[in-house]
Structure 1
Amino acid sequence: MHTAVASFTQLPSGNWRVQVRRKNRYVSETFRRRKDGEGRALDMERNIDRSGSPKPRAAVQAKTFGDIIDLQIEDMQEVGRPPRRSKAAVLEALKEALGTVKLPKLNRERLIELLPV
């Protein structure tokens, strides 16, 4: 039997970082409440046991490239560092150009097709 090692660290922002190491896999996520992290740690361990993949929360929830951008902005705000003007503009432009593209359809050719040169 493989033992799971989930560690919880409170960050200066007050959020909690959860790190799971199991079967030579590693995943880390940040949560506002430790209790949320504890539940997610259990889910991560189960995913590793079932499929060998720890799949973080964002990978499970994100369906489009716009979802990924929203998650990035949300993560930045949670740690008290919202995107500044230039990064916000780039993220907005990417979301406008690629936001509706489903992740499985996002590849090099699609980027070349959709992004202005």
Structure 2
Amino acid sequence: MATFTQLPSGNWRVQVRRKNRYVAETFRRRKDGEEWALDVERNIDRSGSPKPRAAVKAKTFGDIIDLHIQDMRESAAPLADPKRPY
């Protein structure tokens, strides 16, 4: 069963404890957390091993940067222009 806790930042911490496994992740929207928790619970029931959300896909540092940019676009936060002075 998953536990949902709203953080002071407004994000949601989702914790899954199942079959002596513990996995936690933070999401901007509760709905995203609910979907992730359901997926993790299914994976634990099937294979006994939870897989992290996006870390499985990331093989290189460039992959991590791409995941970060994708997260920023999904959250509708504007990306800073590195060539523009502050």
- Shared fold by TM > 0.5? yes
- The one of 24, 30, 47 equivalent to 1:28 is 24
Is there any run of 5+ residues in structure 1 with no aligned partner, and where? Answer: 79-117
- Structure 2: how far apart are the matches of 1:71 and 1:13? 21
Runs of 4+ with deviation above 3 angstroms: 68-74
- The one of 1, 6, 30 equivalent to 2:2 is 6
The Cα offsets for residues 36-92 of structure 1, whole Å up to 9 and x where unpaired, read as: 100110000011112211111022332323323555796xxx8xxxxxxxxxxxxxx
Structure 2 equivalent of residue 53 of structure 1: 49
Q: Give identity over the alignment, percent.
A: 86
Q: Give 3-state SS (helix, strand or coil) of 1:58's partner.
A: coil
Correspondence 1:1-117 to 2 at 5 A: 5-68=1-64
Q: Which has the higher strand share?
A: 2
Moved more, 25-34 or 58-67: 58-67
Structure ID, larger Rg: 1
- Structure 2: how far apart are the matches of 1:48 and 1:59? 17
Across the aligned residues of Structure 1 and Structure 2, the Cα RMSD in angstroms comes to 2.4
Q: Give the alignment's TM-score, normalised by structure 2.
A: 0.69
- Structure 1: how far apart are the matches of 2:53 and 2:63? 12
Is there any run of 5+ residues in structure 2 with no aligned partner, and where? Answer: 76-86
